[in-house]
Homo-oligomer: A and B are copies of this chain.
């Protein structure tokens, strides 16, 4: 891109909702863009739990970042790990060779990982759900538990193998927990001879006073009833004090289970620490109203890594917020290049959605709240609409129709077994 070299250089770190939205807003601008991600793919996060529960394939909800941006003639994509940001010299360093990439403007959209509240030793026993590899790991453990239950002659061991504990009652935890009973009890039941998969227990554990704290109380209560109908045991006010190979300890009670999953707590990407800016408890950068780092106006933070309060409430770490932030940061860069003043970011909450099992959901659009089957159809429609790529839309639609009408889980593939040795 030799003719683009004299243009201002915008570097975007992270190819999630925020980074892709920023790149799209810069497509026709008089800048050159470099988007850096450690993977080659964008993940449609809201459907990641369906990969973890064997309903969809990893490739159904991902798309290569460079394919998404292939028509952006001013943009190049680099698959690399950013090790360091140097705001003084305006460079980012990537990979082991510590190659330097200079920038005029930097948009950091590196998101967050799940956090174990200082107990990283729990991670091997309760993997979280952020990357495609995480989803494959959860799928592997979920499906292997039934295979191991079929093998054992020990009734107690079998019960523990058929008990699944999910820690964290936010949307991810609720969606994971809601999907598992039906698959266990319907899809898997005819395939097993020794195990009665209808005896599967799914326990959702939440430390706070109720699940889905970002939703209105009546919708969250509806979600609890729906989860109970599906057979999920919901335990609120249950503080996890231990996670090990044989179960999860809640307060002083041990829930015996061979498989646990983690959907509680976020820890922001470590890149925030290079900026010398104030971080909040979760490691997020407390940004200025225009999403720039206080004192470093040419660096913007968007998505889960940014902490910003609007009208007295923190902007939530959800896809739509990241998209709006990415777009806003890009537009402020373009305003500045046109010598116009920047505009502060305003988050417009289009609404909150959570799906419970295979035919119910809750929706809070601000001006209207609804739940049940209609909310579920609305959820389906919104998610297909926002999914990236024609191929993925068709394949996901077909996968859902197939699962709905046959009660099957379409992607019950266990691979790389040697990577996980069941404890005990």
Contact = CB atoms under 8 A, between A and B. Distances in A.
B193 A414 contact: no
Contact of A413 (B40, B70, B77, B415): B40
Given A1-B193, A143-B40, A151-B78, A415 B58 contact: yes
A79 B147 contact: yes
- Most B-side CB within 10 Å, residue of A62, A79, A399: A79
Interface residues of A, number: 49
A391 interface: yes
Interface in A383-416: 390-391, 394-395, 398-399, 402, 406, 408, 410-416
Give the number of copies in the complex: 2
Contacts of A194: 76
Given A79-B147, A79-B151, A151-B80, A41 B413 contact: yes
Nearest to A69: B191
Contact of A64 (B57, B76, B136, B191): B191
A423 interface: no
Interface in A331-375: none
Given A40-B143, A151-B80, A64 B412 contact: yes
Instruction: Kindly list the 6 A-B residue pairs having the minimum CB-CB distance in the complex, ordered from nearest.
Output: A66-B191, A59-B411, A76-B193, A79-B147, A57-B57, A40-B414
Given A41-B412, A79-B147, A79-B150, 12 more contacts: A39-B415, A40-B147, A58-B415, A62-B413, A70-B190, A71-B190, A76-B193, A132-B413, A132-B415, A133-B415, A390-B402, A391-B406
